Structure 1
């Protein structure tokens, strides 16, 4: 497990990251979300030792992380760092060998990954000749060479088309199935919601929410959709409920007093037909707006 404990980073009088704490469990994908400037990249840089830590610590497998530990991590930085005028195959093999792979093994694995991402025929091309999306594919490959002990990826899905996204998702799931912890940042909330076992939400340098998607959906006031056979306007007069939306026979209700939903369904049944009464769990985008407001 990768543990981030009370991480703080100051730049002069500005606190960019303020006592951020969360865990990245083994074999799970943890999504790191927040607006631009929330502190995601700064936190990842501290995790990887690229940026000094003002306060707090990073722990790996129950102890303070070392430089040797970090060498076994796969890291994709915000600013991509490959060589634009060098052939893809040559530079990826070079990167793999820097990380301890033998030449033959490195060449074999690089070719397999290039094929997997649909750019095997471009192996002799210079990076600068590729589209931005294909350059992103190459950067992803570089981050997983050789088989890493953990993955820390800053916006890995940026610029990828749907086919490449599917390849990336499959690659990450291969790693989590092997027990590797994966931390990645993304602005694509629908993708994060679909992929991640856990979420960490940052706002203004602070952790404002952590947990599984299900846990985050169950925070806050419970919501229910009520669909009646007639007009639902009378629900405005019920105590213990906030009417979030009302249109004709349909009302969206937030429970502010425990048990108020039971009184609502009892009153609705007394008044006539009830076509639907169901718990509504908010989408991740709604949760995000609420916790970062």
Structure 2
């Protein structure tokens, strides 16, 4: 079941087309990556979801119903541009922000203290925001984003400013939130995080959605049929049997054995490559190279820009 859906959303600012007929569908209790270069339209779509601005045409739905401003309390939004009141004490500020999302003061205090203890930040409760580092401030803002247990969480560059230890802590908490029933949209340029966390992605470029689907399927789509092979045998014979059907990208020989990086051409299969090598080489390892999300991102955007 889809928790969130955008249908044929268009948005123009003055003479700039920010979104062009963009549709996405986010399944309940999944993590959805909203990707694209700077200026592609991601933030505009996020602002539309949060009812900060409205689409010129198109519709957005939450749990099967067209969204209204009343749905804002069901959303938790961590913007890329963080914003906390620097002179206000952290505990009181967190309570205030939780109450804006509809929580009573008592529930806010109780839930916030659970989160502050989980993040080991209870000692910050009576400190002012300006006393904290950027990373510490972002921990607080993450807590205020999730404390009211919204159905839909939207994180815009959530790992920005975090050291590796705290980034891993945040990843762990995002996965737990999904396990506990949350649906998550997150926008990031950290493609490693996309591979680790996202079930599905949409890639937007110059206001247009150019890719959409399961993360693994999209990586599979952009593979180049390249294999890393370790073998023992005579390279001249290997080169001969591969012939014009295969492209040898790299070759190395050492006392430990020989390695090849091979790309197969003309619709050949993995088994065809193995069969070609078996008469002249002992295959020790055979691994297909699936592109990373970073490779996919670059290739998809370059292809879109050429078309």
State if a TM-score over 0.5 links the two structures: yes
- CA distance 1:211–1:265, shift in 2 (3 Å): same
Give the corresponding residue for 1:69: 71
Cα deviation 1:69-114 (Å, max 9, x = unaligned):
2222101122223211100000111111222222222112112222
Give the corresponding residue for 2:275: 266
Q: How far apart, in 1, do the equivalents of 2:265 and 2:21 lie?
A: 31
- CA distance 1:23–1:256, shift in 2 (3 Å): farther
Give the corresponding residue for 1:187: 189
Give the corresponding residue for 2:220: 218
Match of 1:89 among 88, 91, 106: 91
Give the corresponding residue for 1:138: 140
Q: Provide structure 2 residue ranges, at least 5 long, that are not aligned to the other structure.
A: 253-257, 303-307
Are the counterparts in 2 of residues 99 and 145 from structure 1 also a CA contact under 8 Å? no
TM-score of the pair, normalised by structure 2: 0.87
Q: Aligned ranges for residues 154-233 of structure 1 at < 5 Å?
A: 154-220=156-222, 221-229=224-232, 230-231=234-235, 232-233=238-239
Tell me by how many angstroms 1:235 deviates.
Answer: 6.7
Tell me by how many angstroms 1:236 deviates.
Answer: 6.6
Q: Aligned ranges for residues 35-46 of structure 1 at < 5 Å?
A: 35-46=37-48
Q: Provide structure 1 residue ranges, at least 5 long, that are not aligned to the other structure.
A: none
Q: How many pairs does the alignment contain?
A: 291
Q: How far apart, in 2, do the equivalents of 1:165 and 1:264 lie?
A: 41
Are the counterparts in 2 of residues 116 and 167 from structure 1 also a CA contact under 8 Å? no
RMSD: 2.0
Are the counterparts in 2 of residues 49 and 67 from structure 1 also a CA contact under 8 Å? yes
Match of 1:247 among 239, 246, 251: 251
- CA distance 1:121–1:31, shift in 2 (3 Å): same
Tell me by how many angstroms 1:33 deviates.
Answer: 2.1
- Structure 1 runs (4+) deviating above 6 angstroms are none
Match of 2:221, SS state, is coil
Match of 2:244 among 238, 242, 245: 238
